[in-house]
Amino acid sequence: MKDFAIELDAVTAGYHHHTVFSKVSFAVSSGERILVTGSNGSGKSTLLRIISGTLIPKSGTVTVQHVTLHNSRRRQQTRRQIGILAQMQHDPEIAISVRESVVLGLWGTRFNWCTRVQREDHERARNYLALVDMLPFEHRDIRSLSGGQHQRVALARALIRNPQIILMDEPTTYLDLDAKRDILERIMQLQQQMQFTLVVVSHDDHLIDRFDRTIRLEHGSLLEVEGGSLWAR
């Protein structure tokens, strides 16, 4: 039996009465690097929400790390094994230091409503900042960073959960060519070192050759799976 990190079986997802994609099926092996492409509104980010268990599918089955996400407890448990690199948004209105922003990535694992951030969480954040060469910036306000630096910090935030799977939403958007190359290089290097399963959502087709497989979402359905032997419906 193949060791799948993620399995989607006939999953239909959307918001309220609007269906974003329907009957999508695919599987991702452990340690595999998958690129999900598609135009705006095709459901790429929705797919990440489904895998992370933060959006419940209208129908179908989602299995992550051999756990079927059919109740909130299981979704919450599984989420602890997932690291997130969210889409870069406009600068927040509140000031936040680089280190504190990395600590926030631990929400739901090391702290939540009941438990607070500990001193060792800050130490952990420093270690991951060092991993992406951002430790000298730990006290800087995140709003003062460049786009590339911003994404390196976001990478540290995703890694701090020590995840089995990392989901990335448009990690190269708004970056210039050098910064794009730098962040991709770092992601791939760290993936090889740590062997986590990597699912990257991007509208940038130029990234295709860096991944094991590419999945294309178009008009609410999965159109093609390139370069892979796994099944797709």
Partner 1 sequence: MGTLIAEAWSVGVIRHALFGMLIAGGTLSLLGVVIVALHLSVIRFTLMHVGLFGAAVGIALGSGATIGAFTAVLIASCIMGYLSRQNVMSTSSISGLFMTGSLAGAFLLLAGTGVPAMQVFDIFAGNILMLSRTDLVLTAITGTIVVLVFIVAYREIQLVLFNRELAILLGVPVEAIMMALFLLLGLGIATALRLVGALLVDAVILLPGIAALRLARSFGSALLLSSLFGIISTAGGFFIALRFNLPVGASAAMTATCLLSCVLLIGKLIQPS
One DSSP character per residue, 2-22 reads --EEEEEEEEEEEETTEEEEE
**Which of positions 45-64 make contact with partner 1 (CB under 8 A)?**
45, 48-49, 52-54
CA distance 61 to 70: 8
Q: CB within 8 A of 88, min separation 6: which ones?
A: 147, 150, 151, 154, 170, 173, 174
- Among residues 20, 169, 187, 228, which is the contact residue for partner 1, using CB under 8 A? 169
Q: Which helix (H) or strand (E) holds 229?
A: none
Q: How far apart are CB 110 and partner 1 at their closest, in Å? A: 11
Q: How far apart are CB 187 and partner 1 at their closest, in Å? A: 17
**Which of positions 3-22 make contact with partner 1 (CB under 8 A)?**
15-16
Q: Which is nearer to partner 1, 104 or 232 (CB)?
A: 104
DSSP state of 95: -
User: Does residue 220 touch partner 1 according to CB under 8 A?
Assistant: no
Residue 168 · residue 155 · CB < 8 Å = no
Structure tokens at 33: 């690097």
Q: Which is nearer to partner 1, 79 or 152 (CB)?
A: 79
Binding site for partner 1 (CB under 8 A): 15-16, 45, 48-49, 52-54, 75-76, 79, 84, 86-87, 89, 92-97, 100-101, 104-105, 107-108, 111-113, 116-117, 141, 157, 167, 169
